[in-house]
């Protein structure tokens, strides 16, 4: 049975606003981020939601709890939804990273994509036929969308803070890596608000 996934990026954080590379640090929503999460909660309040799952990082949990409240649901967490590990870039001011050689301890794209596929398999096997909100982060969400659409991460438009995209997937398709979907079928909902980010010269590092 198909699982409907409301894939959400967390609301804006203190470090998003400061253009600090967060990676797998906990992070904390700022006032704008809490407002963004509340707007998503309002838009999803009329939807049937069976479960809410989040990354085990604080900024995603905070966002998920706000979204879950109207449905009287608790939030489950999984490390599969953690943001990409930015290694030695973590905690750095993003504009300063322009042109720098990437450290060897950054999580590889291959490992990230394997984790994204594992997440989709986890969701579709744990919640078959259910409608699930999943709150993650900018880069891991991009990897999930790439696996879903069977395309490269570079072809996926980045998600803004508190943006929602809707995916429909099954365990059978995920397990065989044969998800019958195009990127266009990941239907976007309007973002609650614009987020902030900056990129490295390599074109993919951001304050997620």
Catalytic positions are 10, 83
Residue whose pair of structure tokens reads 């604080």 in the numeric block = 58
Which residues, other chains included, contact 63 with Cβ-Cβ below 8 Å and sequence gap of 6+?
Answer: 8, 10, 11, 29, 33, 37, 40, 54, 135, 162
The pairing of strands 75-78 and 187-189 is unpaired
Cα(97)–Cα(94) distance, integer angstroms:
5
**Beta strand pairing call for 75-78 and 164-169:** unpaired
Q: Which of 23, 11, 9, 123 is nearest to 76 (CA)?
A: 123
């Amino acid at each position: 049975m198909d699982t409907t996934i409301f894939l959400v990026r967390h609301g804006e954080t203190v470090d998003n606003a400061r253009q600090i590379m967060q990676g797998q640090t906990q992070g904390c929503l700022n006032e704008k981020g809490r407002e963004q999460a509340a707007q998503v909660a309002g838009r999803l309040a009329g939807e049937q939601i069976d479960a809410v799952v989040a990354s085990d990082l604080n900024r995603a949990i905070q966002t998920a709890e706000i979204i879950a409240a109207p449905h009287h649901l608790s939030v489950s967490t999984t490390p599969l939804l953690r943001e990409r590990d930015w290694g030695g870039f973590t905690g750095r001011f993003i504009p300063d990273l322009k042109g720098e050689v990437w450290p060897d301890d950054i999580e590889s794209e291959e490992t990230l994509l394997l984790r994204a596929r594992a997440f989709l398999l986890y969701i579709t096997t744990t919640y078959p036929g259910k409608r699930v909100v999943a709150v993650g982060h900018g880069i891991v969400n991009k990897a999930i969308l790439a696996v879903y659409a069977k395309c490269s991460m570079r072809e996926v438009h980045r998600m803004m803070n508190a943006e929602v995209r809707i995916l429909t997937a099954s365990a059978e398709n995920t397990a065989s890596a044969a998800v019958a979907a195009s990127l266009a079928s990941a239907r976007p909902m309007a973002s609650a608000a614009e987020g902030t980010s900056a990129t490295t010269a390599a074109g993919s590092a951001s304050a997620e």
